[in-house]
């Protein structure tokens, strides 16, 4: 319990410091082709997908950062593309980020083992990682019951964290 409280206090202090400095950073994580770049484009009001390139082929091969209104948005390569990209993503970009946006495509069903293992790895390095993660479901039009999918993913997260 002490660790949880300490972790929460650290998180609150980081958020407070970020807000005092008027700088907050979001890193977007997820598997290849799950909608990370599209999400970031929507968050910065780029509906032409020009800032963070979007394509069927792999567009994001390096970390890309954009600052808008004192918010840093960080796009990362897909976690399942190659091990070097995974390690790069795990590097200082996660360490520097205040909030993690974990993007999951509903077209692929519930979280797969690779996503869960990656979340576990992040959480083992940063003990408050799950608490700082916002899960974003994309391609929700590909399933008939979004509520059922949300519940499955919540159950997976509760079982693993």
List pLDDT tens digits, range 65-118: 999 888 899 998 888 665 554 565 566 667 778 899 999 999 999 999 999 998
Contacts of 59 (CB under 8 A, 6+ apart): 37, 53
Is the model's pLDDT at 3 over the cut of 70? no
In whole angstroms, give the CA distance from residue 3 to residue 82. Answer: 34
CATH code: domain of residue 10: 3.40.50.300
Instruction: Please tell me whether residue 76 adopts helix, strand or coil conformation.
Output: coil
Is the model's pLDDT at 60 over the cut of 60? no
What's the pLDDT at 96? 78
Most confident of 34-38, 96-100, 146-150: 146-150
What's the pLDDT at 115? 95
> What is the residue whose two structure tokens read 């929507």?
42
Structural domains in the chain (count): 1
Containing domain of residue 123, as a range?
2-160
What's the pLDDT at 127? 83
Bridge pairing between strands 71-75 and 64-68: antiparallel
What's the pLDDT at 148? 97
What's the pLDDT at 1? 39
Q: Which two tokens stand for residue 64?
A: 């890309």
What's the pLDDT at 106? 96
Nearest CA-CA partner of 28 in 93, 82, 124, 87: 93
What's the pLDDT at 43? 87
* Percent with pLDDT over 90 in the chain: 38
Is the model's pLDDT at 6 over the cut of 60? no
In whole angstroms, give the CA distance from residue 116 to residue 33. Answer: 17
Query: Is this structure's pTM higher than 0.85?
Result: no
Mean pLDDT of the chain: 81
């Amino acid at each position: 319990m002490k660790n949880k409280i300490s972790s929460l206090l650290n998180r609150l202090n980081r958020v407070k410091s970020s807000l005092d400095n008027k700088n907050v950073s979001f890193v977007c994580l997820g598997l290849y082709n799950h909608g990370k770049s599209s999400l970031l484009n929507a968050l910065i009001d780029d509906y032409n997908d020009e800032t963070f390139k979007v394509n069927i082929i792999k567009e994001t091969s390096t970390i890309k950062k954009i600052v808008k209104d004192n918010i840093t948005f960080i796009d990362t390569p897909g976690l399942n593309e190659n091990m070097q990209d995974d390690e790069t993503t795990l590097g200082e970009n996660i360490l520097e980020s205040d909030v993690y946006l974990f993007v999951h495509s509903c077209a692929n069903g519930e979280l797969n083992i690779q996503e869960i293992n990656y979340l576990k790895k992040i959480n083992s390095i940063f003990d408050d990682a799950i608490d700082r993660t916002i899960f974003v479901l994309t391609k929700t039009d590909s399933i008939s019951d979004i509520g059922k999918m949300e519940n499955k993913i919540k159950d997976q997260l509760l079982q693993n964290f």
